[in-house]
Amino acid sequence: MTLRLTARNLALGHPGHPVLHGVDLDVEPGEVLTVVGPSGGGKSTLLRALAGLLRPAAGELLADGEPVRGPGADRALVFQDDGLLPWRSVRRNVELPLAVRRVPRALRGAPTAEWIGRVGLDGLADRLPRELSGGQRQRVQLARALVGEPRAVLMDEPFGALDAQTRAAMQRLLLSVRERQRCTVVFVTHDVDEALLLGDRVAVLGGGTVAAVHEVPHPRDGARRTDPAVLALRERILGSL
């Protein structure tokens, strides 16, 4: 279950002075597209538009060829933080997409428990979000995003507020989870290394538009970080930011 997301000459923000303009972007079904750019450069804006939370000021935004008219369960959104409902336990947060879709209570338990286990939170299902660490909360968000089997997951700097070690663990978790569920991923980050580590392709925002899209020239394995071609690309992207 994947989704193709397409932007055609897209402008976002106020029509007078848009945050982004002239955006042409194709997110291929099943790929991980990472988006980097300077802060305030419109990364989150683009992601929110893909989620259907923002109406384009101009241009077109298509999901599998159909215009995006609003948010929908086919495109799950993961926030940097505070995306969990604080009065709901881990379990009840994770099952929320199923509840919204009116899946009968009896059928919610199994997938919910499965995803809580998959993100490594077994035994914490009854905790409230405030009783978790930042990394654990992001695990809950990941489980919540994926439990509903969306066709695309949109992630807005999901690991941006985590310490380096936790962030590395979350990156590994995201990749391993994707082995099971091959949905399209759009991953916004300000960290070029993270973008190069996770992405099949990296889109670079600059000057209020998508300045470039680079294929990462090495398979996603342990040697990716040290591949000279990847390192050269890293320098190029850093130079352009």
Nearer to other proteins, 63 or 204 (CB): 63
Site stretch for other proteins (CB under 8 A), options 5-13, 17-25, 35-43, 72-80 = 72-80
Q: Is 77 in the site for other proteins (CB under 8 A)?
A: yes
CA distance 129 to 143: 13
CA torsion sign for 114, 189, 43, 34 is negative
CA torsion sign for 213, 2, 92, 167 is negative
CA distance 43 to 12: 11
Q: Is 175 in the site for other proteins (CB under 8 A)?
A: no
What is the CA angle 145-163-86, rounded to 5?
45
- Per-residue b or e along 58-73, where b marks 16 or more CB atoms closer than 10 Å to that residue's CB: ebebebeeeebeeeee
Q: Is 188 in the site for other proteins (CB under 8 A)?
A: no
Q: Is 56 in the site for other proteins (CB under 8 A)?
A: no
How far out from the chain centre does Cα 42 lie? 15
CA distance 213 to 28: 12
Site stretch for other proteins (CB under 8 A), options 12-20, 107-115, 162-170, 193-201 = 162-170
Q: Is 1 in the site for other proteins (CB under 8 A)?
A: no
Nearer to other proteins, 16 or 222 (CB): 222
Q: Is 83 in the site for other proteins (CB under 8 A)?
A: yes
Closest separation between CB of residue 51 and other proteins, Å? 5
| Interacting residues with other proteins (CB under 8 A) | 48, 51-53, 70-73, 75-77, 79, 82-88, 96-97, 99-101, 120-121, 124, 127-128, 130-133, 135-136, 139, 148, 154, 165-166, 169-170, 172-173
